[in-house]
Amino acid sequence: MSEPTPPSTPTSPGRIPHGPFRAGDQVQLTDPKGRLNTITLHPGKLYHSHKGAIPHDDIIGSPEGSVFRSTGGTEYLAFRPLLADYAVRMPRGAAVVYPKDAAQIVAMADIFPGARVVEAGAGSGALSCFLLRAVGEHGLVSSYERRPDFADIARANVEKFFGGPHPAWRLTVGSLEDALTETEVDRVVLDMLAPWECVDPVAKALIPGGMVCAYIATTTQMSRVVEELRGHGAFAEPYAFETMLRSWHVEGLAVRPDHRMVGHTGFLVTARRLADGVTPPLRRRRPAKGAQNPEPGTPAAT
């Protein structure tokens, strides 16, 4: 029976490891072609590849940003993985929220240190990690996941990244509609198939001025959740958007967009909670040309 892996955090779970590499740390090794390999350090073990081996003992005790040469002569750059790196490579049950969307959720939903956040569903735990980073140890992220198998994967991924159970995280197996018990919540993040079904319980849980943020995949989902928020009466006008990420190749005078880009991954819809009893102002928008019947005797727009 193997020994349990020691936690990689120097003090309490939830703190980000720093300083020299230690046994139990995750290390990201990058070869000269930019290929990444993530390993967990164990005394006496070797990292093996077709380009040779590197003893874990050589890495343990070295500072981040060190270079190690394999027995085959290939140099590897060693860093602890960033959360963005970890999220896209973690074991998956459900699809993960990509870092570009997680960053937008943290920014546009205004997730702040100490915030009380409800998340549905937890999926594979990627977004949970970003939310926990944002609220800190004195906030609360209460995640709901319908599927027990996904909840197990999410718990394992979150605890592996933070080196143990995070003090600000509570994971509940069950649907948000049936299991939500929180009140006076600052933010609600919905990453689920039918977020419009949760608008009423979300409105009851949020404080006035609180915010809901829905992450959806398709335009039909986006349209439905926007119309549900508008029709509910407890929310200000929703804001719907998406983000695209394009990296660039920069090599001397050869400066151009990369041939591949992370295009559409999902849409985001945000809305603010109104005070109880307040009726939202009527929206005033200029109608599109030809959207209304013309005056008698006036030719229709073409």
**Residue 77, token pair as written in the block:** 């750059």
* Per-residue DSSP letter, 6: P
Give the integer Cα–Cα distance in Å for 195 and 270: 12
On whether 53 is known to bind a ligand per the annotation, the reply is no
The residues that bridge with 54 in the sheet, in sequence order, are 47
Looking up tokens 């081996």 gives 53
On whether 125 is known to bind a ligand per the annotation, the reply is yes
Terminal C-alpha separation, the chain? 77
Q: Are 109 and 189 in contact (CB under 8 A)?
A: yes
Give the integer Cα–Cα distance in Å for 182 and 211: 15
Strand stretches in 121-241, DSSP E = 140-145, 169-173, 185-190, 206-216, 239-241
Side chain identity, residue 208? P
On whether 8 is known to bind a ligand per the annotation, the reply is no
On whether 95 is known to bind a ligand per the annotation, the reply is no
Give the integer Cα–Cα distance in Å for 248 and 62: 32
Give the integer Cα–Cα distance in Å for 278 and 269: 21
Task: Specify the 3-state DSSP secondary structure of 234.
Answer: coil
Label residues 196-223 b or e (16+ Cβ within 10 Å = b): bbbbebbbebbeeebbbbbbbeeeebbe
* Residue 31: burial class (beta carbons within 10 Å; 0-12, 13-18, 19+): middle
Annotated binding site: 124-127, 145, 191
Annotated binding site for S-adenosyl-L-methionine: 124-127, 145, 191
